Amino acid sequence: MSSQQHYQRIAQAIEYIQQHFQHQPTLDEVAAQIHLSPAHFQRLFSEWAGTSPKKFLQYISLEHAKSILRSKQSSSLLQTTLQTGLSSSSRLHDLFIQIEGMTPAEYKHGGAGLKIQYEFTETIFGRVLVASTTKGVCALSFIEQDDHAALQELRTKFPNAEYVQQEDVMQLRALALLTAQPNSIEQVKLHLKGSAFQLKVWESLLKIPSGQLASYADVAAQIDQPKASRAVGTAVAHNPVAFLIPCHRVIQASGVLGNYHWGTTRKTAMIGWESAQSDADGEES
């Protein structure tokens, strides 16, 4: 079974668990909903998430989100000296992400003069389109319909660029973060189209450690614009590189996960998966 098929099954399970959390569905009940035996489901889920379905349910609960936002670690998480949220994981301690904004000419003229290389591939959170320029990864999007539709959406953002279907080392470094067992993690460079405000917000999101969460107000305070929570929300929603800039780690102050461009189920899966990985890293260290 491919990574894409694994994620589809896991997503179905997550949706069922969320819809029926009030009566705490058993392993047998969830397994039946996705047409797997309990033993197969337990093995598949543990292989994907690195933890049991029962433990995962705790990670994605409202109370867990609230406890993180209330914690001392959460109140200071945006003051961390980490260069990237993922560097809180012992396996990924060498990783850091650098953002370079596109020039005014590249931004204004729809990517004129840019050569964009792109490729389609499967990840633990579903199939993606990843694209890069000579300076870094410029887009990473989950494929909601089909490959052609995803590519057309990218072309609307950079209508005047030259497109070549080809993978490169920058794409591979970025995609290493979306594998169940990342091996050699190296510097990831991003080359993004965004306003000065958006770039500032995106850079602040990189400081949220993996397995942790922040509210929109937290991010607004970090960029010294405490009244700009709504504008921060808009910038978060326009993040062009899913998962690499961890907008999924930003939730409502109430603990509710809120909307996500790539679907609430996928956001839930990312939060639960990162919590499981962080706990596992903590046990190993």
Residues forming the active site: 247
Is residue 131 classed exposed, middle or buried when 0-12, 13-18 and 19+ CB atoms within 10 A define those classes?
buried
Looking at the chain, the whole-number percentage of residues with pLDDT higher than 70 is: 85
- Hey, how many other C-beta atoms are within 10 angstroms of the C-beta on 159? 11
C-beta separation of 260 from 194 below 8 A:
no
Strand-pair partners of 123: 126
Pairing of strands 162-165, 250-251: unpaired
**How high does pLDDT run on average in the chain?**
85
State the Cα torsion 268-273-276-277 to the nearest 10°: -150
Q: What is the pTM of this model?
A: 0.87
pLDDT score of 75:
47
Mean pLDDT of 7-34: 86
34-66 per-position pLDDT tens digit: 999 999 999 999 988 889 888 888 888 888 889
Residue corresponding to tokens 């993180």: 68
Domains of the chain: 3-59 (1.10.10), 65-284 (1.10.10.10)
Closest CA to 150 of 161, 134, 139, 160: 139
Residue corresponding to tokens 């889920």: 45
Query: Is the confidence at residue 91, as pLDDT, over 90?
Result: no
pLDDT score of 193:
93
Query: Is the confidence at residue 74, as pLDDT, over 60?
Result: no
φ, ψ dihedrals at 126, nearest 5°? 115, 175
Query: Is the confidence at residue 113, as pLDDT, over 60?
Result: yes
212-265 per-position pLDDT tens digit: 899 999 999 999 999 999 999 999 999 999 999 999 999 999 999 888 999 999
22-35 per-position pLDDT tens digit: 777 888 999 999 99
